[in-house]
Structures are given as structure tokens and as C-alpha cells.
């Protein structure tokens, strides 16, 4: 896998797909009669909750790691993350037999810290601030020479995440709308790129919690915004867009929809109860958007990415 | 579909499979690396939690309904049930455009009463005793001429449930052990029959909660026993074997394992967290049995039936 230095081309996304295939699952696409009846749409759910580590993040992490030189690999990889990217980096490192250093805030759930350690990563706990995370990481990188792999502001990460929509588009013909949730925009950028290349007539829509709606405001104003708060039940979507993801999304995402916390919980519950699958709140945000604007989506054939299934079953919002 | 008047033959199970195919899902078989690592076995989970109405019961109900004469169909079908069989009868009736009368105890969860009504059944509420259920049902059958379709003591029901194991055995080659939970024994009887016909060298094991272990005691003593209590978190497994299911299980089930409530909850949690799918407690009983007797199952290729996914997400045991 090459290092990708600009907006990923179709050829580069194809190369990413080929390169990561031995390390990730081709996840199933599910439909549900009950939810189609309720929404009036035909929704094809791409189930990255069944992906390794329980979320799509393993794709980007693998795509970035495979692009490292032998010398870089010998020194290991490093990141900071409170969530799925931590586990993705840890598992990727384990699969490639290299070292991983993961900075995690003290506030991260014990279960995620332990899962990251279980994959063999060196977990370094820091204060629960972005400054402390970056500082702790910088120190580790200086000391070890490990390569920092960010969770979304990286073209190989974006190309890796683009393989989700690529698989979906290749499996289900004739999709008219492609939807995904937006956090830092890594998945959304990849989704928009794959759709642009492979299904240029489809409408690409990002969905975001109202409480952390900077991507919505960024795309509406044309100027990159930041989140005012950092609280939503969709804990995977609290981050801000980066320059890279903002640029791609400005070009290739057609619309954004924001939803309330109540709408997210209701959509999550609908997925749990009707589909009998476990998704994390972030995954439910696009369905919440469809339910909010039913007339707009009625009769449409929609591809929707369920991003992950890592929830603490002792802390459910129901 | 014919009325089956004795222990279903292979030909009758094949006929059942063909007959119900248009009305039921062929459910997927899933595996999970994490659970295989923990158990040391290779487990193939047959996911009836993804079945219509969220449980395997639709198979038997369909197989019994299809065997009715035109005149019988014109008068409708009736049953008493507090759980999945109620919804199965209601949906089957809806799909075949016939009337359904379902007697449900007042203690049944509102969500199940409503789901049964939503499928168009006439729901009649009775006192939460078996006597009241049977009495109320008898009265309805007398008044309407509807045909009573019991939830397991019926050879067409058993043939319908037998299609679960048949699909599993046909999809995954070389299974050495076949496991299912035991309530009234309808699924277990069908599972044992399909395995006997199609995979005669495999070991058939039923799993049951210790708190309602009459099937275990029945098979060990050779004399049909009854449950002393009627309480277990595995609320689908509270019923006693019938003469029909006891006879079949005596012949074709090789062993029974009983598990504690704690073991059931732990196994259920493992399935939720690792597989990201929602199963009801009854479904977790066979995995609990494997975890209890690890050495016995180590290295074995096991087919395991996950019976359903109907849980109240507001009432979880975690």
C-alpha cells in the first residue's frame, strides 16, 4: 500500500480495498421489513458493527499501517483516542506484529482501556483534555520514534474508510441516497469519495447530532466551524472536521441533517428492537435523520452505514 | 402440506421445509472469533433471532396452519401463549388471511400483547394461570370453531421447527455436536430428528436452566417429570415436555446439560458484546452449557441454535 498524499483517487481506494482485505471483514448488508414499512423507504444497512473491533475504524488504521516503511514499522505506531480508533490501532499493530502506543484519557471507559491492552498495545493514561492527549502523544513519539496515526485527518485513513461505501455500492445496485454519520469526517469523506467515483448520481447525506453540529454549520457556511459543546449520546461524533475532511466534504457531500438526542435514542431503539442487532448511538444518527424527514426519503433506495456496535450494556439509554 | 400424524419422517420434514419457505427467512449462520477463542470450540450460531417475529416459532406455526383444510382455515386458528408463539400464530394468520384468536395471560408484557394485536389477531386476556388459559381457549374454540394450534405438542409444529437444524446442517458441513435450548421440547424434538436423519453421527445435546430442569430429569429417569418452579430468566423455557416431545427426545437426544441463572446471563452478555446481536436469555442457554463444560467441547465443531431475540430492552439483566 502506498502513502496517499492528496485526496484519494479511485485507483487508490481500489488499492486500499485490496490491501486491507486480508485483515478486515466484508460486513453484511441487512434490510428490515418493519423499518422499511415505518419509513416508507428501502434501506440497506451496511453493518460495520460486525466489523473487527466492532467498528469500521480497523479499515483506516490498517490502510495507514500498511503504508509504513519497514523502518517505520520497526518503531511502531502511536495514537490518542478514547474510543474505537484506540482498539483499531492496537489490533492492527498486533496483526502486523509491531508495537502500538495508545494515549487514552483517564475518563475513557475501563472496558475500552482493557480491550486496547488485551490487543497488546501499551496504553498510556493522560488527563481528559485534548491538550494533555496531544502532549502525552508527542512525548511518546519523540521518545520511541513511533509513527502517529491520527483517527481521521490522514488520506490513508480516509481511503480505508472509503471501502465501506465501496463494498455497499458494489453489493446493492441502484442506490439513490448514501448516508453516514459525521464525527471528524473520516468515514464521511471516504463515503463521499467512493460514491462520487462509483455512483455519481446518488445523493450523499451526512447526519450529525444537533449538540455537536459543526460539520453541518461548516458545510452550510463554507467556513470550517468548531463544536461549541462536546456532549452527545453519540459519543463517536464529538470531534471536529479537519482541513482534509472539510475539503472533501465540501466538494462531495450534498447535504447534512442534524438530529436531537431523543431522535437518536428512538432510532437506536428501533434498530435494536426490529433488527435484533447491537449498534452504538452514533450508528443510529442517519436513521434518525430519515425518520425526521420521512417525506423526503419516501420511496427512495438508501444505503446507510451502521458504523459500530461498541456500547456498554450496563449504560443503555432505554 | 399434509397433517403429520406420527413422529415426522425425513420426507415430511423436507415437505415442511418446502412448504414454509415462502413465509419464513432462511436465517444466517454466524461465527465469532472471540467466542471460539474463549471456548476453544468452533461454534456455528444459527440466528433465529433474525427470523420473522424475532424467533423460530413462525416455522412451526406456518407448518401447522398450511396443513389445515379450507373449511378449517375459514374458521380460523386459536392458541394460548404469553410469548413468541402468540406472535407466530398472529402473523401466520395474517399472511394466510385467516382469523386468529390468541389467549394471553394478563401478566404478559404489554409489548407482546400489542405486537400480537398489531398482526391483526383477536387478543383475549385471561387470568395468569394455565387453567384459565386453557378454559378461555376452550370457550373460544367452541364458539368459533377455530382450530387450536398448540405451541409444541403437535407433529406439524415439530416438523416446522426441525427445519432450523436442517438448514444449519445443510449449510455447515462436518458438525460434530448440535445444541439447542429445551422448553416444551418442540424445537429440541425437531432438532434431534433432523440431526438423526441427516447427520446421524453427531451428538445432540439439549440445554436447560437448572430452575426448570424437568426435561433433564425426564431424560435421566426415563419418566416424564414436571417443573417444580416456573421461574427462570430464560422465560421461553418454563414449560414442561409433552408426551410427543418426550418420546422423540428420549429416542434422539443424547444428553442434557443444566445451567444456573448466572451462567445464562453471562453467556447472553458474551453474545451481545462479542457478536453484536440481540438474543433473548433462552438463546444463551446452550452457550452457557458449553462454557460450563469447556473441556468436553474443546476442539469440537458445534452447531448451536439461537432461538430468538425478543427482549424488553428496558428490562435487561446487566
Mean pLDDT, to the nearest integer, of B178-206?
A: 98
Kindly provide the ipTM of the predicted complex, given to two decimals. Answer: 0.93
Task: Find chain B residues with C-beta within 8 A of A54's C-beta.
Answer: 276
* Grid cell of B60 as nine digits: 412451526
A49 and B269: CB-CB below 8 Å? no
pLDDT band at B84 (very low <50, low <70, confident <90, very high): very high
Based on the fold, state whether residues B178 and B272 are members of the same structural domain: yes
CA distance B50 to chain A (A): 7
Based on the fold, state whether residues B139 and B201 are members of the same structural domain: no
pLDDT for res A109: 81
Task: Find chain B residues with C-beta within 8 A of A276's C-beta.
Answer: 49-50, 54, 277-279, 309
Q: Say if CB B47 and CB B29 are below 8 A apart.
A: yes
Based on the fold, state whether residues A127 and A237 are members of the same structural domain: no
Q: Is this prediction's pTM over 0.90?
A: yes
pLDDT in tens, B12-28: 999 999 999 999 999 99
A60 pLDDT above the threshold of 90:
yes
Asked, for residue B312, whether it belongs to a domain, the answer is: no
Q: Pairing relation of β-strands A29-30 and A42-47?
A: antiparallel
Based on the fold, state whether residues A50 and A91 are members of the same structural domain: no
Tell me the percentage of chain B whose pLDDT exceeds 70.
100
A230 pLDDT above the threshold of 90:
no
A269 and B54: CB-CB below 8 Å? no
CA distance A118 to chain B (A): 12
Based on the fold, state whether residues B139 and B230 are members of the same structural domain: no
Task: Find chain B residues with C-beta within 8 A of A272's C-beta.
Answer: 278, 313
pLDDT in tens, A3-19: 999 999 999 999 999 99
Based on the fold, state whether residues B259 and B286 are members of the same structural domain: yes
Task: Find chain A residues with C-beta within 8 A of B276's C-beta.
Answer: 49-50, 54, 277-279, 309
B313 and A269: CB-CB below 8 Å? yes
B108 pLDDT above the threshold of 90:
no
pLDDT for res B79: 98
Residue B318, Cβ neighbours under 10 Å: how many?
12
A277 and B272: CB-CB below 8 Å? no
Crossing angle of the two packed helices A110-118 and A84-95, in degrees rounded to 10: 10
Give the chain A residue nearest B276 (alpha carbons).
Answer: A278
- List the single range of A310-314, B166-170, B219-223 with lowest mean pLDDT: A310-314
Count: domains in chain A: 2
Distance of CA B221 to the CA centre of its chain: 24
CA distance A111 to chain B (A): 11
B2 pLDDT above the threshold of 90:
yes
A110 pLDDT above the threshold of 90:
no
Pick among A276, A306, A309 to test the B interface (most B CBs inside 10 A): A276
| B130 vs B15 pLDDT, higher one | B15
Looking at A92, A124, A145, which one is the last position of a domain? A145
Interface contacts A/B by beta carbons within 8 Å: 36
Give the chain B residue nearest A315 (alpha carbons).
Answer: B318
Give the chain B residue nearest A274 (alpha carbons).
Answer: B54
Asked, for residue B313, whether it belongs to a domain, the answer is: no
Asked, for residue A63, whether it belongs to a domain, the answer is: no
Give the chain B residue nearest A33 (alpha carbons).
Answer: B52
Based on the fold, state whether residues B200 and B169 are members of the same structural domain: yes
pLDDT band at A302 (very low <50, low <70, confident <90, very high): very high
Task: Find chain B residues with C-beta within 8 A of A309's C-beta.
Answer: 276
CA distance B276 to chain A (A): 5
B277 and A278: CB-CB below 8 Å? yes
A228 pLDDT above the threshold of 90:
no
Based on the fold, state whether residues A168 and A296 are members of the same structural domain: yes
Based on the fold, state whether residues B215 and B86 are members of the same structural domain: no
pLDDT for res B153: 97
User: Hey, which bits of chain A come out as E strands?
Assistant: 29-30, 42-47, 77-80, 100-105, 122-126, 147-148, 177-181, 203-209, 255-259, 301-306
Task: List helix spans (H) across A48-198.
Answer: 57-66, 70-75, 84-95, 110-118, 130-144, 155-171, 186-198
Task: Find chain A residues with C-beta within 8 A of B318's C-beta.
Answer: 313-314
B184 pLDDT above the threshold of 90:
yes
Per-residue HEC secondary structure of chain B comes to CCCCCCCCCHHHHHHHHHHHHHHCCCCCEECCHHHHHHHCCEEEEEEHHHCHHHECHHHHHHHHHHCCCHHHHHHCEEEECCCHHHHHHHHHHHHCCCCEEEEEECCCCHHHHHHHHHCCCEEEEECCCHHHHHHHHHHHHHHHCCEECCCCCCHHHHHHHHHHHHHHHHHCCCCCEEEEECCCCHHHHHHHHHHHHHCCCCEEEEEEEHHHCHHHHHHHHCCCCCCCCCCCCCCCCCCCCCHHHHHHHHHHCCEEEEECHHHHHHHHHHHHHHHCECCCHHHHHHHHHHHHCHHHHCCCEEEEEECECCCCCCCCCC
Asked, for residue A315, whether it belongs to a domain, the answer is: no
Based on the fold, state whether residues A135 and A161 are members of the same structural domain: no
Task: Find chain B residues with C-beta within 8 A of A269's C-beta.
Answer: 313
Domain residues for A253? Answer: 10-56+154-306
Q: Which residue has the cell 447535504?
A: A255
**CA–CA separation, A156 vs A77, rounded Å?**
14
Mean pLDDT, to the nearest integer, of A37-43?
A: 98
Mean pLDDT, to the nearest integer, of A165-172?
A: 98
A272 and B316: CB-CB below 8 Å? no
B313 and A318: CB-CB below 8 Å? yes
Per-residue HEC secondary structure of B265-293 comes to HHHHHHHHHHHCECCCHHHHHHHHHHHHC
Side by side, the strands of the sheet bearing B147-148 are: B122-126, B100-105, B77-80, B147-148
User: Closest to A276 (Cβ–Cβ): which among B50, B269, B314?
Assistant: B50
pLDDT for res B107: 87
User: Closest to A276 (Cβ–Cβ): which among B278, B314, B316?
Assistant: B278
Mean pLDDT, to the nearest integer, of B219-227?
A: 96
Give the chain A residue nearest B270 (alpha carbons).
Answer: A313
Mean pLDDT, to the nearest integer, of A268-292?
A: 97
Asked, for residue B5, whether it belongs to a domain, the answer is: no
pLDDT band at B80 (very low <50, low <70, confident <90, very high): very high
Based on the fold, state whether residues A294 and A242 are members of the same structural domain: yes
Give the chain A residue nearest B33 (alpha carbons).
Answer: A52
Looking at B145, B176, B200, which one is the last position of a domain? B145
Asked, for residue B315, whether it belongs to a domain, the answer is: no
Q: What are the b/e assignments for B99-126, b being 16+ CB within 10 Å?
A: bbbbbbbeebeeebbebbeebebbbbeb
Give the chain A residue nearest B272 (alpha carbons).
Answer: A278
pLDDT for res B109: 81
Task: Find chain B residues with C-beta within 8 A of A58's C-beta.
Answer: none
Mean pLDDT, to the nearest integer, of B86-107?
A: 96
User: Closest to A278 (Cβ–Cβ): which among B50, B272, B314?
Assistant: B272
Task: Find chain A residues with C-beta within 8 A of B272's C-beta.
Answer: 278, 313
Tell me the percentage of chain A whose pLDDT exceeds 70.
100
pLDDT in tens, A281-291: 999 999 999 99
Task: Find chain A residues with C-beta within 8 A of B25's C-beta.
Answer: none
Task: Find chain B residues with C-beta within 8 A of A266's C-beta.
Answer: none
B47 pLDDT above the threshold of 90:
yes
Average pLDDT, chain A: 96
pLDDT band at B306 (very low <50, low <70, confident <90, very high): very high
Give the chain B residue nearest A271 (alpha carbons).
Answer: B278
pLDDT for res A315: 87
B111 pLDDT above the threshold of 90:
no
pLDDT in tens, A235-266: 999 999 999 999 999 999 999 999 999 999 99
Q: Output the domain CATH number for residue A222.
A: 3.40.50.1100
Q: Say if CB A150 and CB A79 are below 8 A apart.
A: yes
Task: Find chain A residues with C-beta within 8 A of B269's C-beta.
Answer: 313
Based on the fold, state whether residues A98 and A133 are members of the same structural domain: yes
**Among B262, B272, B245, B100, CA closest to B184:** B245
The residues of A whose Cβ lies within 8 A of any Cβ of B are: 28, 49-50, 54, 269, 272-273, 275-279, 309, 313-314, 316, 318
Looking at A145, A163, A192, which one is the last position of a domain? A145
**CA–CA separation, B234 vs B208, rounded Å?**
9
User: Closest to A277 (Cβ–Cβ): which among B276, B314, B318?
Assistant: B276
Asked, for residue B248, whether it belongs to a domain, the answer is: yes
Length of chain B equals 318
pLDDT for res A107: 87
CA distance A54 to chain B (A): 8
pLDDT for res B16: 98
Task: Spell out the long-range contacts of B226-234 with Cβ–Cβ below 8 A and sequence spacing 24 or more.
Answer: B232/B261, B232/B264, B232/B281, B233/B209, B233/B261, B233/B264, B233/B265, B233/B281, B233/B317, B234/B181, B234/B209, B234/B264, B234/B280, B234/B281, B234/B282, B234/B284, B234/B285
Asked, for residue B72, whether it belongs to a domain, the answer is: no
pLDDT for res B110: 84
Task: Find chain A residues with C-beta within 8 A of B50's C-beta.
Answer: 275-276
Amino acid at each position: 500500500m502506498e502513502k496517499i498524499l492528496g485526496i484519494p483517487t479511485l485507483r487508490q481506494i481500489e488499492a486500499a480495498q485490496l490491501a486491507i482485505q486480508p485483515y478486515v471483514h466484508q460486513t453484511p448488508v441487512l434490510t428490515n421489513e418493519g423499518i422499511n414499512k415505518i419509513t416508507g423507504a428501502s434501506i440497506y444497512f451496511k453493518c460495520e458493527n460486525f466489523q473487527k473491533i466492532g467498528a469500521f475504524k480497523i479499515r483506516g488504521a490498517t490502510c495507514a499501517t500498511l503504508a509504513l516503511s519497514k523502518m517505520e514499522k520497526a518503531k511502531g505506531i502511536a495514537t490518542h483516542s478514547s474510543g474505537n480508533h484506540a482498539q483499531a490501532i492496537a489490533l492492527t499493530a498486533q496483526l502486523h506484529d509491531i508495537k502500538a502506543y495508545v494515549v487514552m484519557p483517564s475518563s475513557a471507559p475501563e472496558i475500552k482501556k482493557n480491550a486496547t491492552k488485551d490487543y497488546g498495545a501499551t496504553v498510556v493514561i493522560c488527563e481528559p483534555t485534548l491538550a494533555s492527549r496531544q502532549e502525552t502523544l508527542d512525548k511518546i513519539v519523540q521518545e520511541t520514534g513511533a509513527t502517529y496515526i491520527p483517527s481521521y485527518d490522514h488520506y490513508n485513513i480516509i481511503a480505508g474508510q472509503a471501502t465501506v461505501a465501496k463494498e455497499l455500492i458494489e453489493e446493492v445496485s441502484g442506490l439513490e441516497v448514501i448516508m453516514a454519520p459525521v464525527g471528524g469526517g473520516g468515514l464521511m469523506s471516504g463515503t463521499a469519495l467512493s460514491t462520487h467515483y462509483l455512483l455519481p448520481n446518488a445523493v450523499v447525506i451526512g447526519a450529525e447530532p444537533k449538540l455537536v453540529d459543526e460539520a453541518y454549520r461548516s458545510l452550510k457556511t463554507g467556513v470550517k466551524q468548531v463544536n461549541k459543546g462536546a456532549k452527545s449520546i453519540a459519543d463517536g461524533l464529538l470531534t471536529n472536521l479537519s482541513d482534509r475532511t472539510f475539503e472533501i466534504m465540501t466538494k462531495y457531500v450534498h447535504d447534512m441533517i442534524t438530529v436531537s438526542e431523543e431522535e437518536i435514542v428512538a432510532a437506536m431503539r428501533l434498530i435494536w428492537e426490529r433488527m435484533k442487532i447491537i449498534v452504538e448511538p452514533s450508528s443510529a444518527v442517519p436513521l434518525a435523520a430519515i425518520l425526521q424527514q420521512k417525506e423526503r426519503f419516501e420511496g427512495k433506495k438508501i444505503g446507510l452505514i451502521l458504523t459500530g456496535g461498541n456500547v456498554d450494556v450496563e449504560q443503555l439509554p432505554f
